[in-house]
Amino acid sequence: MRAGLLRETLVFKSPIETQSPTGAVKKEYKEVFQCRACRKKMSLIADRDGVSAMEQFIGHTLVFQVRNYPAIKENLHVVYNGNEYNLKMVNPQMNDNSLLLTLEKIDT
């Protein structure tokens, strides 16, 4: 992987349980890691008529390639361009020591 391709910045957040003064426990996300990434293009799957069955969901899923960092786990949230995403899959690439991350947008 060439360093010049890493043009995007990803911010990883980890879930932390906090307790309010009233005693209620809630889950918050705190920034734990930040790295550079390369966004991969997603290919649309179309049938013979040229209609994509995934056209309404293609904008909710992103794929990024990053260097292999041990801090990246599957239970993290990722912030990219002001939007928050759930890290769905971490796919290690053995040939160049990188990771393919599949992110799904969180509806807010």
Between CA 1 and CA 100 the distance in angstroms is 12
Residues in the chain: 108
- Written as six digits, the tokens of 13 are 């957040």
Q: What is the pLDDT of residue 82?
A: 92
Q: What is the pLDDT of residue 102?
A: 93
Among the listed residues 77, 80, 61, 69, the one whose alpha carbon sits nearest the alpha carbon of residue 8: 80
pTM: 0.79
pLDDT in tens, 10-68: 999 999 999 989 999 999 999 999 999 999 876 555 555 555 555 555 568 899 999 99
Q: What is the pLDDT of residue 43?
A: 59
Domains identified in the chain and CATH numbers: 3-105 (2.40.10.270)
Q: What is the DSSP string of 4-44?
A: GG--EEEEEEEEEEEE-TTS-EEEEEEEEEEEEEEEEPPPP
**Mean pLDDT, rounded, for 75-85:** 94
Give the residue with greater pLDDT, 92 vs 52: 92
Q: What is the pLDDT of residue 76?
A: 94
Q: What is the pLDDT of residue 49?
A: 59
